[in-house]
Amino acid sequence: MSIGRKEALRLLKKGELLELGRMADSMRKDLHPENTVTFVVDRNINYTNVCLNRCSFCAFWRREDASDAYVLGREELFGKIDETLELGGTQILLQGGLNPSLSLRFHMDMLKDIKRRYPAINIHGYSPPEIAYFAERSSLTLRETLAVLKEAGLDSVPGGGAEILSDRVREAISPRKIKSGRWMSVMREAHRLGMKTTATMMFGSVETPEDIVGHLEAVRDLQGETGGFTAFIPWSFQPGNTKLRKQMKVKHGQATAVEYLRVLAVSRIFLDNVSNIQASWVTQGLKMAQVALRFGANDFGSTMIEENVVASAGVSYRVSKDDIIQAIASAGFRPAQRDTRYNIIKYF
Ligand code: SF4
């Protein structure tokens, strides 16, 4: 049974931790009675690190003229995909920054070249800020932009750039980034074109519990309309090397383990129409991700053969596929590799 905004807020603020875990775990069991915890083998490929948005919470972006600014060439790109396939990967997460020197044609050619060479790989690519930027630069609608990207080979869209879907928070932490309504519009149009997407939420910066619940409500409402979200991924702000950390005047100002679990559990309970909730081992580490499996998560996300964005903030948990399998099994679940659409490929 769905809970409302008021109850979600009460649980987030005052719910007893273990009771929240029990409620979220019971819901996970109802949705996934087979006791399986899934993961996808993929690689993050950041095609460029140049980004006009310069978000204060991000340590990855560079100016166009920075000595370490880059755009990946085909050889390097293909080399990364070859390695992904050798490791049993089925998907690449293709994301970059808002780089003014790259046209929509560049992206279409990149997608086509990948698909020509690797027809079976799922291209999970371009978060809503990138797609909205391509649309604006090309004077196309979001729908037209997504349609040409899809035609060129884009299979699904990651939910990055959602941060908190509150324009007050966005104004404070990423004023140049698209506003909440635009993020939702990209997702709505992608879903209408038959593409699946994920939704994320980055919390632990300057938001309030009300903002978090508002975010969950926006995702639940759009899911009710389109059914296009495969998963929800809450993760906490990683302050290392970021401007926001200085603005917040904190040394290690980030969500605690308990705050992470509370948000995760309330996400599971509130988002009753989203099947999958991912644990974020990239930001929390494998041990916390194991605990997360008793607070509503049923998926370990990606093996992340390569991850640059969170690593730029100084957070780097290096784990192998075997580490993930072992972590899931020792937490009492059956590990399974899945594809982008959550079809099981292999049990372990
Ligand atoms: S978070 Fe994304 S949009 Fe913001 S600066 Fe980093 S790469 Fe650019």
Q: Mean pLDDT of successive 10-residue segments in the chain (348 residues)?
A: 94 98 98 96 94 88 96 96 93 96 97 98 97 97 98 97 94 92 98 98 94 98 98 88 63 78 98 97 92 98 72 66 94 97 96
Residue 216: its pLDDT value, please?
98
| pLDDT given for residue 252 in this prediction | 46
Phi and psi at 128, nearest 5°, equal: -50, -40
Q: Whose CA is nearest to atom 6 of ligand 1?
A: 58
Mutate to test the pocket of ligand 1, among 50, 55, 62 (most ligand atoms within 8 A of CB): 55
343 lies in a domain? Answer: no
Say how many residues make up the chain: 348
The residue nearest atom 2 of ligand 1, judged by CA position, is 97
What's the pLDDT at 62?
A: 96
Task: Say if CB 18 and CB 273 are below 8 A apart.
Answer: no
Find residue 346's DSSP bridge partners: 337
Centre of ligand 1 from the C-alpha of residue 95, in Å:
10
Which residue puts its alpha carbon closest to atom 3 of ligand 1? 53
On whether residue 323 sits in a domain, the answer given is yes
Note whether 341 and 38 are within 8 A (CB): no
60 within a domain of the structure (yes/no) = yes
Residue 311, domain member (yes or no)? yes
Ligand 1 pocket check for 54: Cβ under 6 Å: yes
Is 66 within a domain?
Answer: yes
Question: With a 6 A CB cut-off, is 243 part of the ligand 1 pocket?
Answer: no
Does residue 183 have its Cβ closer than 6 Å to ligand 1?
no
Q: How many CB atoms lie within 10 A of CB 34?
A: 10
Q: What is the CATH number of the domain that holds 254?
A: 3.20.20.70
**193, part of any domain:** yes
Ligand 1 atom showing the smallest separation from residue 174 Cα:
4
Whole-structure pTM value = 0.93
Overall number of domains in the chain: 1
Q: Return the ∠ at Cα 200 (arms to 244 and 235), rounded to 5°.
A: 55
Residue 314: what pLDDT?
Answer: 64
Atom 4 of ligand 1, residue of closest alpha carbon? 55
In this predicted structure, what is the pLDDT of residue 319?
A: 79
* Mode of pairing for the β-strands spanning 344-347 and 196-203: unpaired
Is 348 a domain residue? no
The response to whether residue 60 sits with its C-beta less than 6 Å from ligand 1 reads yes
pLDDT of amino acid 251 = 45
What is the residue range of 273's domain?
5-335
Atom of ligand 1 nearest to the CA of 51: 8
CA distance 264 to 278: 9
345 within some domain: no
Closest protein CA for atom 7 of ligand 1: 97
From the CB of 53, is ligand 1 less than 6 Å away?
Answer: yes
Contact between residue 120 and residue 85 where contact means Cβ atoms under 8 Å apart: no
C-alpha 89 – ligand 1 centre gap (Å): 26
